[in-house]
Structure 1
Amino acid sequence: MATRTRNLNVGANDRVAASAYTACHAISDHTSSIPQHNEDPHGRQIRRPRPFAQRLAATFNDRAYDVETFARESSKEETVLYLAYGSNLAYEKFQDPKSGRGIKPLAQINVQVPSLRMTFDLPGIPYTEPCFANSALSVEKDDDTQVGQDAEETALLGGRSRRQDYRKDRWHKGLMGVVYEVTAADYAHIIATEGGGASYRDILVDCYPLESEDPRATVPQHPSTTPFKAHTLFAPAVPDGEKPPKNGGRIQRPDQSYAQASARYLKLITDGAAECEMPYEYQEYLHSLHPFTITTVRQRMGQVLLAATFVPLVLFLFTISKLFADNHGVLPNWFKALLGAIFNATWVSYDYFFKPIFGEGERTIGDDGPDGESREARRTLKAATLEIDVEKAAAGSNG
């Protein structure tokens, strides 16, 4: 009996040792494989120095900008502290002059923004890019209380789906991002490439520098560092019962937590977080997000047909938009309205034609178990945490 007990203890110790390689370890290994600072073999400067303390202190005199007049009214000598998050942390998307926007930050600093949270409620194209990242005002929640509520609701629901607390909504420590100091010309370009000012408005938010530059440090629920203000582009959801504004509004889905982003888009977000050395705790959350995956032939047919119907038109409009934009890249209101009408028609056709015939185009079929975790989703999460390097290498080799 003693021998058997000893063997059981050894087995338990082995299991503990095996489980010690957590998601954080996997993310740490993956992050170390991504070139940082000036070590990039392609000569890319992914990270810049921190902004000067005097520049941060001066932000309390800043004011929000009018996105339609900023480019014409701003001074060439002026710099802007811009809060980026989501895919805009990726060099490929934000700084690369060939594949991205070609922004050249002067300085940067990792921050936590308690007043905002990252959402995925900007509709894209059904079946292909169901949604994109956005920001929304935070709902103040105590972390310990939230954990207790999650456990209680899970027990009461007995394993049924809880869409209101789907996995992508489970980060309750505010928006994590990077504040870039950019020239006025670059900020005007950022505004223009976010849709020529359509749907977005500039706001000022309080940003708290991370207490530690060590990504292994825990992210506090309530940061205590000295805040400063930064600008970000905000596309708020329309409150229930209100009509979208005629100018500057955006398409809005009935359930804003329902859609899942594509694997391509989530890869941009996780790569960007790793390149910017964001906290491993936050990176672990990002790697837990489930991508939209097509699982049936009907869905694939719907994807091809919808793309053939609307994507050429959208690409054509974006191509000719340069002809109608002013010298600063801002589009006229009538062109913004035309783009909005095309996207709205895309989603109306999806709701009333494509979805009834070809099936789900926003969320992986079957990904509706407890907390959004089906067996397929758990396999996806395991691959994301234990085989990150393999997946990233394969994705990189495929372009």
Structure 2
Amino acid sequence: MKHPAAPALKRLAAIQSEESEEYGVRRRFPQPHKDRLERSLQDRALDLCQAPKDLYNHAARRQEKQETFLYLAYGSNLFSGTFLGRRGIRPLSAINVVVPELIMTFDLPGIPYSEPCFANTKYRPEIPPTSGEGDEKASHSITERPKYHNPEWPRGLVGVVYEVTAADFFHILATEGGGAAYQDVLVDCYPLLPGIQPVPEHPSTDVFKAHTLYAPVYAPGKAPPGRERFSRPDPDYSQPSLRYITIIQNGADEHDFPPDYKAYLQELEPFTITSQRQRMGAFIFLQIWQPILTAIFKLSARYADDKGKSPKWLSILAAAIFTSVWISYDQFFHRIFGDGERTQPKHTDEERTQRKLVRDASH
């Protein structure tokens, strides 16, 4: 069973271990063969809402035929410590690409005060999707973004397409929480030539298609049946943690991304605690919830089957706990201790103290 909270829980678990000593160096993979890239134009997206047994049987058939998948990574999976280390994936080949129809967002909820959000993608409003269900997804998803002075990347998503075995691809689906909240989509990818600068808006290299996991943000009441996922009232509000941004930056360095895209990643502002009140709230919040979440991760590792799927009872329990985490934050911690999703000005507490002194003096 997959639950709308699964992507956030899986991503949080995937970055718990530190692997900077063993990984983090620039790795050279061979590029996919030209005929494999050409065959990708005939690939079809998977329906992740079908029964797990059917998905596993499909994986087994692909594995028996020694067929591979082309998988687009753009967030923490750029970093070898996550993709090769924590997830245990062994790519057969890899190639840097630009995907003009997508941009990277940070709208997957995480854990307040610690990992507020994780990377996701969305279709650029001015470029129509190329995958089969794109028109439906574009019509239901939120396209207008509020302005929080976030750095804007003006061109398509830059990422890495890994060629992986069928077994590894379905392991990626399991460890990412693929299912109700995620869709497998095929997107047009254009290879980035070594040393290219800047990233082209209209690339001229030969297009091929790659799979990627896409979790659309739907307006309230607009999600199609079976596509609901846990989301915040304002999905663009949260800022990723410094650790999470650093993982993405390290992955970009490993794959030698174009300098202008790496400069954009350097401009991303992380969530930072700026007051003693927040610091106290974060300590209490994490003292309460971190042991419970750690226990859930351990139970998931213990009871997951060989495809990474947790039993139904554990999925329900994990989803309930994740929802409770955010309810406790919204109803109590945020009100008492301050923001755990976005950096607040350092002078907030000082201004509050000044206002209190003024009020006291006026009485």
Same fold (TM over 0.5): yes
Q: Is the 8 A contact 2:274 2:346 kept in 1?
A: no
Q: 2:212 aligns with which of 225, 232, 250?
A: 232
Q: Sort the Cα spacing of 1:362 and 1:244 in 2 relative to 1 into closer, same or farther, 3 A.
A: farther
User: What is the deviation of 1:240?
Assistant: 3.7
Q: Is the 8 A contact 1:299 1:359 kept in 2?
A: yes
The sequence identity of aligned pairs, in percent, is: 51
Whole-Å separation in 2 of the counterparts to 1:289 and 1:361: 17
Q: Which residue of 2 aligns with 1:188?
A: 170
Q: Sort the Cα spacing of 1:287 and 1:277 in 2 relative to 1 into closer, same or farther, 3 A.
A: same
For the pair shown, which has the larger CA radius of gyration, 1 or 2?
Answer: 1
Whole-Å separation in 1 of the counterparts to 2:96 and 2:299: 37
Q: Following superposition of structure 1 onto structure 2, how do residues 66-215 of structure 1 map, counting pairs within 5 Å?
A: 66-67=47-48, 68=52, 69-74=54-59, 75-76=62-63, 77-96=66-85, 100-140=86-126, 164-168=146-150, 170-195=152-177, 197=179, 199-210=181-192, 212-215=193-196
Secondary structure of 1:165's match?
Answer: coil
User: What is the deviation of 1:169?
Assistant: 5.4
Render the CA deviation track for 1:218-270: whole Å, top value 9, x for unaligned.
1122222221110111111123443685x553221122221111111110011
Q: Sort the Cα spacing of 1:358 and 1:317 in 2 relative to 1 into closer, same or farther, 3 A.
A: same
TM-score, length-scaled by structure 2: 0.77
Secondary structure of 1:221's match?
Answer: coil
User: What is the deviation of 1:87?
Assistant: 1.4
Q: Does 1:220 align with 2:204?
A: no
Q: 2:250 aligns with which of 241, 259, 271?
A: 271
Q: Does 1:301 align with 2:287?
A: no
Q: Which residue of 2 aligns with 1:376?
A: none
Q: Is the 8 A contact 1:198 1:336 kept in 2?
A: no
Q: Sort the Cα spacing of 1:240 and 1:138 in 2 relative to 1 into closer, same or farther, 3 A.
A: farther
TM-score, length-scaled by structure 1: 0.70
Render the CA deviation track for 1:278-336: whole Å, top value 9, x for unaligned.
11101000000111111112111111211122222222222212454333112355543
Q: Is the 8 A contact 2:151 2:267 kept in 1?
A: no
**2:274 aligned partner, one-letter code:** T
Whole-Å separation in 2 of the counterparts to 1:207 and 1:255: 30
Render the CA deviation track for 1:346-398: whole Å, top value 9, x for unaligned.
11211110011001111111289xxxxxxxxxxxxxxxxxxxxxxxxxxxxxx
Whole-Å separation in 2 of the counterparts to 1:60 and 1:197: 24
Unaligned 5+ segments in structure 1 are 1-39, 142-162, 369-399
Q: Following superposition of structure 1 onto structure 2, how do residues 351-366 of structure 1 map, counting pairs within 5 Å?
A: 351-366=330-345
Q: Sort the Cα spacing of 1:140 and 1:164 in 2 relative to 1 into closer, same or farther, 3 A.
A: same
Q: Sort the Cα spacing of 1:347 and 1:186 in 2 relative to 1 into closer, same or farther, 3 A.
A: same
Q: Following superposition of structure 1 onto structure 2, how do residues 360-399 of structure 1 map, counting pairs within 5 Å?
A: 360-366=339-345
User: What is the deviation of 1:197?
Assistant: 3.9
Whole-Å separation in 1 of the counterparts to 2:311 and 2:27: 34
Higher mean C-alpha deviation, range 128-137 or range 250-259: 250-259
Q: Is the 8 A contact 2:24 2:251 kept in 1?
A: no
Q: Following superposition of structure 1 onto structure 2, how do residues 332-347 of structure 1 map, counting pairs within 5 Å?
A: 332=311, 335-347=314-326
**1:233 aligned partner, one-letter code:** L
Whole-Å separation in 1 of the counterparts to 2:242 and 2:230: 22
User: What is the deviation of 1:198?
Assistant: 5.6
Whole-Å separation in 2 of the counterparts to 1:41 and 1:302: 34
Unaligned 5+ segments in structure 2 are 1-20, 128-144, 348-363
Q: Which residue of 2 aligns with 1:329?
A: 308
CA RMSD of aligned residues (A): 2.5
Secondary structure of 2:332's match?
Answer: helix
Q: Which residue of 2 aligns with 1:58?
A: 39
Q: Sort the Cα spacing of 1:169 and 1:237 in 2 relative to 1 into closer, same or farther, 3 A.
A: farther
Q: Which residue of 1 aligns with 2:261?
A: 282
